[in-house]
A and B are shown apart, each in its own frame.
Chain A
Amino acid sequence: MKPVLEVKHLSKRYILNRQQQSYLTIRDSLSGFFKRSQKKEDFWALDDICLDIFEGDIVGIVGKNGAGKSTLLKILSRITPPTLGTIVARGRIASMLEVGTGFHPELTGRDNIYLNGSILGMRRKEVNRNFDAIVEFAGIGRFVDTLLKHYSSGMQSRLAFAVAAFLENEILIVDEVLAVGDAEFQKKCMAKMGDISHSGRTILFVSHNITAIETLCKKGALLEKGKLTAFGAIGSVISKYTSNEAACGGSNGRYTFEGFEKESVVSEIEFICDGRHSETLAMGGEFEVRVHFKSVVELKNPMLGLIIYDEFHAPVLFFNNNHYGVSFTKGPTKGGVLKVRCPSMLLMAGNYSADIYLSTPFVDLDIKKGLLFRIEPKHFLEHGEMLPQRHNTFFMKDLEWAYEPEHYSA
């Protein structure tokens, strides 16, 4: 049997132009014509990848930030061409790099289903056939003829996933789309993905959520710095990935970003847990995040935001400095370190991941996703029993308990 996807010696090079802004302008091109050529650097985001994927395979792709996962998916979905190498695909590829692409707030749910479906490559006949099932799956029922802008964000993402879930393409490329909706809907999504895989279609799945990958995928591929370092049974790939993480000391709370993406502004993120560089802190411990950034243009009023997810990738915390009425700088800045410190982290023990984003009030500058950290169980008081892990996401430190005896009047 021929593989449905043959990836042969695939490489992708980005040319870094350190002095340049992210956009070309005619003005700069004209003036640059007279200048000496600027310093350029090559960066190989993917380096000689060879993969054969067969019909019905569900392949989980794992790797750290910047390992080339997204680049691989972008090439597979034909959004950007490779620099070297070829891919032979036998079947229609549908990519879900993001759910709800092309959704328009001024159209109704019904209109958006047709629009989004057709952008994803569905025929109108296919949408017609699956329309009721999509509405049912998304659970939007009687709101189908309401404008999308009146939907809650949960409804919007459920609808978006529902449309994508009914694609009939032979090869599906899925990037972290499960990060939508509440726990119940996520369960439904996972079940749907399972169904899709039983129908003999091929799925490529990228996620930072190791648990999800382990349950869903049978095969895995590990990317490290643009190279394919492991391919095979999912168990062995994940254990290699996690042991590598551990071997380099779990990166010791430091994440550096070589930044091949032109828009990369964040150069390093440090986690300081209980006063040292680490990704592990105890319940109720101190947690500090330091974000190093540099920018070509001056930034007015940079904003730092965090989204913290639990191990099932359900968001548990979202906040930025504006929520706390803090602005970091008075004047414009071109770089520095933004810090946020929580003296006492009141999350229960478990594995968490953080998305950290840097923005200005008008532009999102950079986002770094899936930075892992761990909270160890610890008794936050010297006495009493341990809090049960089940039923608790957070805990409270200073609860006051009291008993007042009732006074009976004689």
Chain B
Amino acid sequence: MRLQMEYVIKPKSDLSLGLEELWEFRELFFFFTWRDVKIKYKQAVLGIFWAILQPLFMTVIFSTLLGKAINDQTHLPIPYPVFVLSGLLLWGIFSGGMTNAADSMIANANIIKKIYFPRLVIPLSAVLAACVDFLMALAIFFAMIVWYQVPVSGAGIWVIPLAVLQASVAAAGVGIFFAALNVKYRDFRYIIPFLMQSLMFLTPVVYPVSIADNGVVQKLLQLNPMAGALELFRGVFRDYIINWETVGASALSCAVFFTVGIFYFRKAETHFADIA
């Protein structure tokens, strides 16, 4: 007798994360991510070029226009262009990952309507694809470090992966929530670009948390799920002192966003096929 796998199809699934099932479908993560990456980097040279061009271009703009003002006010321990590039690169994981994830359910509606698999695979692998962009762009980051001769700390070996992890979790949490909303309300997608722009300026990407002289505003900035990721990532610079309060507060809020996002998604997913 073959291995018997018994399961029951019931009216409403109980609210669980379905982690076991996700593990069962782990190869699908790989294949969806691989598909997105492969199509994007089909022409390898152009693909890498685009992944690098955008953050580089933004770095030039911010450095020319804001660099001096921010440096005067906050006395950054590292050159502003390197600081702002570090922020923009990590922000790329969040903005790219979240936008991909939010769009992913609609983009894959034809698959959702025809085949069953844990739906979470789709937005989660969309975030993973954004991480690949980050890895490509990391090369330019190291080039900048060498160019500006910024001293690097050995902690980089573990702060970079941790920062990437937190940025991905933040992107996934918000992205999954929006993905579910996007299926239900078709006009929601028009809000996302505007939201993304506002969020970027509410996050210490192009400025440090210390720019706010108001204690309450600083506290609020620290609660941003991306603030901690950025703080950790900048720990790669020897002269940058990580504010552990920011890291802790931000990690906590990140976990909250992620949990809310996943549970909302799980609650909504049973009816995706009927309305997608």
**Which positions in A face B, CB cutoff 8 Å?**
14, 23-27, 29, 74-92, 95, 97-98, 101-102, 104, 106-107, 111, 114-115, 118-121, 123-124, 170
Q: 9 tightest A-B contacts by CB?
A: A78-B116, A87-B9, A25-B187, A23-B186, A118-B31, A79-B273, A101-B114, A26-B185, A80-B273
| Nearest chain B residue, comparing its CB with the CB of A98 | B114
Q: Which residues of A contact B8 (CB under 8 A)?
A: 86-89
Whether B114 and A89, one on each chain, are in contact in the complex, defined by CB atoms closer than 8 angstroms, is: no
Whether B114 and A97, one on each chain, are in contact in the complex, defined by CB atoms closer than 8 angstroms, is: yes
B139 at the interface (CB under 8 A from A): no
A107 to B188, CA, bound (A): 31
Q: Which residues of A contact B186 (CB under 8 A)?
A: 23-25
B28 at the interface (CB under 8 A from A): yes
Whether B273 and A104, one on each chain, are in contact in the complex, defined by CB atoms closer than 8 angstroms, is: no
Q: Which residues of A contact B11 (CB under 8 A)?
A: 81-86
Whether A102 and B2, one on each chain, are in contact in the complex, defined by CB atoms closer than 8 angstroms, is: no
Whether A77 and B185, one on each chain, are in contact in the complex, defined by CB atoms closer than 8 angstroms, is: no
Minimum C-beta distance from A185 to chain B (A): 21
A106 to B47, CA, bound (A): 15
Whether B10 and A120, one on each chain, are in contact in the complex, defined by CB atoms closer than 8 angstroms, is: no
Interface residues of B, count at CB 8 A: 39
A25 to B187, CA, bound (A): 5
Question: Please, what's the 1-or-0 string for B19-61, where 1 marks a CB less than 8 Å from any CB in chain A?
Answer: 0000001011001001100110010000000000000000000
**Which positions in B face A, CB cutoff 8 Å?**
2, 4-13, 25, 27-28, 31, 34-35, 38-39, 42, 108, 110-117, 184-188, 270-271, 273-275
Scoring A78, A83, A97, A98 by chain B CB atoms within 10 A of each residue's CB, the highest score goes to A78
Whether B27 and A124, one on each chain, are in contact in the complex, defined by CB atoms closer than 8 angstroms, is: yes
Whether B111 and A121, one on each chain, are in contact in the complex, defined by CB atoms closer than 8 angstroms, is: no
Minimum C-beta distance from A32 to chain B (A): 12
Q: Which residues of A contact B27 (CB under 8 A)?
A: 118, 123-124
Scoring B13, B35, B187, B188 by chain A CB atoms within 10 A of each residue's CB, the highest score goes to B35
Q: Which residues of A contact B270 (CB under 8 A)?
A: 80-81
Instruction: State whether A81 and B115 are in contact (beta carbons under 8 Å apart), knowing that A90-B4, A91-B5, A101-B110 are contacts in the complex.
Output: no
| Nearest chain A residue, comparing its CB with the CB of B188 | A26
Q: Which residues of A contact B4 (CB under 8 A)?
A: 90-91
Q: Which residues of A contact B12 (CB under 8 A)?
A: 81
A54 to B17, CA, bound (A): 32
Can you list 10 contacts pairing A with B, beta carbon distance less than 8 Å?
A23-B275, A75-B9, A76-B9, A80-B273, A81-B9, A81-B11, A81-B271, A90-B6, A95-B114, A107-B39
Instruction: State whether A95 and B10 are in contact (beta carbons under 8 Å apart), knowing that A80-B273, A90-B4, A170-B2 are contacts in the complex.
Output: no
A170 to B6, CA, bound (A): 12
Contacting residue for A78 out of B9, B108, B275, CB 8 A:
B9
Whether B35 and A115, one on each chain, are in contact in the complex, defined by CB atoms closer than 8 angstroms, is: yes
A104 to B107, CA, bound (A): 12
Scoring B4, B5, B13, B274 by chain A CB atoms within 10 A of each residue's CB, the highest score goes to B274
Whether A119 and B9, one on each chain, are in contact in the complex, defined by CB atoms closer than 8 angstroms, is: no
Q: Which residues of B contact A119 (CB under 8 A)?
A: 28, 31, 111, 115, 117
Scoring B25, B38, B112, B116 by chain A CB atoms within 10 A of each residue's CB, the highest score goes to B116
Q: Which residues of B contact A120 (CB under 8 A)?
A: 115
A95 to B185, CA, bound (A): 28
